[in-house]
């Protein structure tokens, strides 16, 4: 299974605007939680979900059309 690695940067695109790219750095992780730092410096803890044998996380929370980071 692919997992998030501390220190790595993960990116995803906005579903509404292809030119908008979200970038997050994994600051810390446990078995079920990952702490992400966005470009502005704010750190947020988010729960890890498993999809297609890879960890995923919704960095801005769960809402319609929210970005999803997938571990690579």
Q: What is the pTM of this model?
A: 0.88
pLDDT of residue 40: 81
Tell me the two tokens of residue 58.
């919704």
HSE (side-chain half, CA atoms, 13 Å) at 62: 6
Does residue 21 surpass a pLDDT of 90? yes
pLDDT of residue 68: 95
User: What percentage of the chain exceeds 70 in pLDDT?
Assistant: 100
pLDDT in tens, 29-43: 999 999 999 988 899
Region 17-46: mean pLDDT is 94
Instruction: Fill in the DSSP letter of residue 53.
Output: T
């Amino acid at each position: 299974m692919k997992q998030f690695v501390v220190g790595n940067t993960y990116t995803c695109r906005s579903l509404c605007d292809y030119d908008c790219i979200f970038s997050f750095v994994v600051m810390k992780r446990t078995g079920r939680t990952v702490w992400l730092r966005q470009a502005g410096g704010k750190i947020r803890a988010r729960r890890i979900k498993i999809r297609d044998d890879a960890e995923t996380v919704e960095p801005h929370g769960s809402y319609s059309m929210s970005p999803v980071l997938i571990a690579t």
